[in-house]
Amino acid sequence: MLKFYLKRFAIFATILTILINIYTFTYPSLDPENCSWHCFDNSVINAAPIGGSLFEKMNYYIKRYSNDVIKTHWNSETDLVNDKQRVNDIHMMALGDPQIKGVWHNTPYISRLDTFGNDYYLGHIFRTMKKRLSPSHVVVMGDLFSSQWIPDSEFYNRTRRYVDRLFKRDTSLIEEIKGENHEENENLFIVDWHKWADNFNENLNGNRNNFNFGYKDVKSWSDEEDYLFVNLTGNHDVGYSGDATYQHLTRFNTLFGKDNFWIEYDTETDHPWRLVVLNDLLLEGPALQPEFIDYDWEFLKQLVNQNFSGSTILATHVPFYKEEGLCVDPLEVNYYPEGWEKEPYKANLLRSQNHISESVTNKVFDMIFGNGKPGMVLVGHDHEGCEVIYNKFESNNSWVATKEPLADAKYHLQEITVRSMMGEFNGNTGLVSGHFNEDSKLWEWKFTLCPFSIQHVWWASKVTAIITLLAWSTLAVL
Ligand SMILES: *[C@@H]1O[C@H](CO)[C@@H](O)[C@H](O)[C@H]1NC(C)=O
Ligand SMILES: *[C@@H]1O[C@H](CO)[C@@H](O)[C@H](O)[C@H]1NC(C)=O
Ligand SMILES: *[C@@H]1O[C@H](CO)[C@@H](O)[C@H](O)[C@H]1NC(C)=O
């Protein structure tokens, strides 16, 4: 009797496991339009039947799904269109705010397990999408970690998880860095921020060109990789300007690279474009270290001096100014109060901001998108995600955000707030496709968002597999 029911259960569990795992490993194929690079060739669009019968619709979706699965896993000729093009499309994956949490002495085991699983859940999204889409760029939109109030050793431990579990990258580089930066007796990571600060101030007060903000045609940071990996600073990684210290900037720069830089591509051709990475947390004060603000604006000044004539993708963490209600986060700026007893030296400093002020937004956009070429702004911070258009008006020199483009504006700039890749927001991957239009001789940019599912679905794929295995093993010994 028991055997009979157990067998039924095992069969049911097996079917469930197979279904959940098929879903987990092929989820982008259910929504190939949003989970693929945008195809700028209108002739190949195969739209869903409008007004067809239920059977026709089902037939269409099943066919679309299975074709996509076959294409992704067994067909190498996925990029037929690309081969005929003179200029390759740009394929950028943007991942919003992973915010990985830490594990402390007093963290309960269930939370530890949750944090552990979450790393692999995020890693699953990255691996699935990378394998499917072979991006040219991968940009993580800041807030890599969940808190800026952590010691260096914890900052390193999370970096290690970020490198190893989330992005499956080689850990030898950061281990080498740890080898050079650790406490005397213990093997715990600690940064020498004095040295970094000396160097920083030498550059700031001396030859500012030594900041070396600019790169050219960098397609990858290492020979073993065929894509460019970009880390952005978020408020949880380095703090808002009222919090950011040399220690914060030193450890970020040491493990994640520069917080401000640009890469220009194909400047000698008719299709130049650039990626601008900006630490916009340091644009406004009052700051704890006012020289950081000076440094941020120096970066923008040098950027302008490039007289760049191409298209620009700007990637930064905090969204730009817009009227309340266009996106989810309300407009909010906080300062430390006058009598802030915990840290009196922070009184009146910028404590938090969830958007850049209006005047600074106008200034920054003028500096970066002043050449009038089509571009796009990618930001994080507001986990819900959002898309708006900035309309540039020359008459009063302002950039006005709206949901739909305003016809009387001279120039339109799209800002995408990339919806978070965290489980609560369904594990999204943002896809930026860039295409050089040979007729207009301009780049065209298109953004789509590919969601996965809440982390419980990923957990279920593992748990059901274990239960199934247990059920069949029990049956075998009964
Ligand atoms: C970081 O990891 C090391 C090695 O596992 C451990 O000894 C150390 O305590 C961790 N740091 C923190 C702040 O937990
Ligand atoms: C971004 O961070 C990852 C993880 O530490 C690292 O492998 C990569 O080299 C970093 N990028 C740069 C430009 O340093
Ligand atoms: C940009 O233009 C200015 C003024 O014409 C010139 O002084 C500067 O050298 C130019 N910069 C570059 C990088 O060519």
User: Ligand 1: which atom is nearest the Cα of residue 102?
Assistant: 14
pLDDT digits (tens, 9 = 90+) for 392-417: 998 888 999 999 999 999 899 999 99
Is the beta carbon of 151 within 6 A of some atom in ligand 1? yes
Residues shown for the chain: 478
Q: Give the Å distance between the CA of 222 and the centre of ligand 3.
A: 31
Lining residues, ligand 2, CB within 6 Å: 159, 162-163, 169, 173-174, 221, 229, 231, 255-257
- Residue 205 Cβ < 6 Å to ligand 3: no
Ligand 2 centroid to Cα of residue 208, in Å, is 24
> What confidence score (pLDDT) does residue 134 get?
95
Q: Measured from the CB, is residue 183 less than 6 Å from ligand 1?
A: no
Q: How far is the CA of 209 from the centre of ligand 3 (A)?
A: 14
Residue 82: predicted pLDDT: 55
Ligand 1 pocket test target in 154, 162, 182, 251 with most atoms within 8 Å of CB:
154
- Name the token pair of 321: 């100014």
Q: What angle do CA 333, 233, 359 make, to 5 degrees?
A: 40
200 CA to centre of ligand 1 in angstroms: 29
Whose C-alpha lies nearest to ligand 3, atom 9? 305
Atom of ligand 3 nearest to the CA of 307: 1
What are the residue ranges in the chain where pLDDT is below 70? 42-48, 75-83
Helix (H) or strand (E) holding 413: strand 411-417
Long-range residue pairs from 115-121, CB within 8 A, at least 24 positions apart, any chain = 117/455, 117/458, 117/459, 117/462, 118/423, 118/455, 119/161, 119/165, 119/166, 120/165, 120/458, 121/423, 121/427, 121/455, 121/458, 121/459
Q: What is the pLDDT of residue 224?
A: 87
Q: What is the pTM of this model?
A: 0.94
pLDDT at 76: 59
Phi, psi of 381 (to 5 degrees): 75, -60
pLDDT (0 to 100) of residue 187: 84
Nearest bound ligand to the CA of residue 159: 2
Q: Which CATH superfamily is domain 27-109+123-458 in?
A: Metallo-dependent phosphatases (3.60.21.10)
